[in-house]
């Protein structure tokens, strides 16, 4: 089972879904060993649960903490929203605000010269 896309994958949905359909058609005509289709979240999660139960897979529980993901996206840096360190993200936001404010003050001072 494969999920497709992420937060920003569908900004051009018509072309994205056309590409996905082309890929699905290719696999349907070239490989009959698996089934490929569009699905809902409920269908996907039900299939995952069924596979876990059928194969008797033991899932481990993650108890440690983790940092937010880091991703370069169109001239900006995104730290994501998945973290167990909420304070770290708050400090990062506060520092970013202070840094932006100080850059603004510096630019205003330069224009004053």
- Cα–Cα distance measured from residue 26 to residue 12, given in angstroms and rounded to the nearest whole number: 21
What confidence score (pLDDT) does residue 6 get? 63
Higher pLDDT, 15 or 4: 15
3: pLDDT strictly greater than 70: no
Query: CA quadruple 54, 43, 1, 59: dihedral positive or negative?
Result: negative
Most confident of 30-44, 46-60, 79-93: 46-60
4: pLDDT strictly greater than 90: no
Q: What's the number of CA atoms in the CB half-sphere (13 Å) around residue 108?
A: 6
Predicted model pTM: 0.43
What confidence score (pLDDT) does residue 11 get? 74
């Amino acid at each position: 089972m494969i999920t497709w896309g992420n937060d920003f994958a569908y900004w051009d949905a018509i072309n994205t879904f056309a590409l996905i359909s082309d890929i699905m058609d290719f696999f349907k005509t070239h490989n009959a060993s698996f089934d490929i289709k569009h699905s809902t979240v409920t269908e996907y999660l039900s299939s995952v649960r069924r596979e876990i139960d059928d194969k008797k897979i033991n899932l481990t529980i993650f108890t440690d903490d983790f940092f937010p993901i880091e991703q370069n996206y169109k001239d900006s840096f995104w730290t994501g929203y998945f973290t167990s360190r909420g304070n770290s993200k708050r400090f990062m936001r506060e520092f970013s605000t202070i840094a932006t404010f100080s850059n603004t003050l510096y630019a205003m001072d330069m224009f004053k010269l």
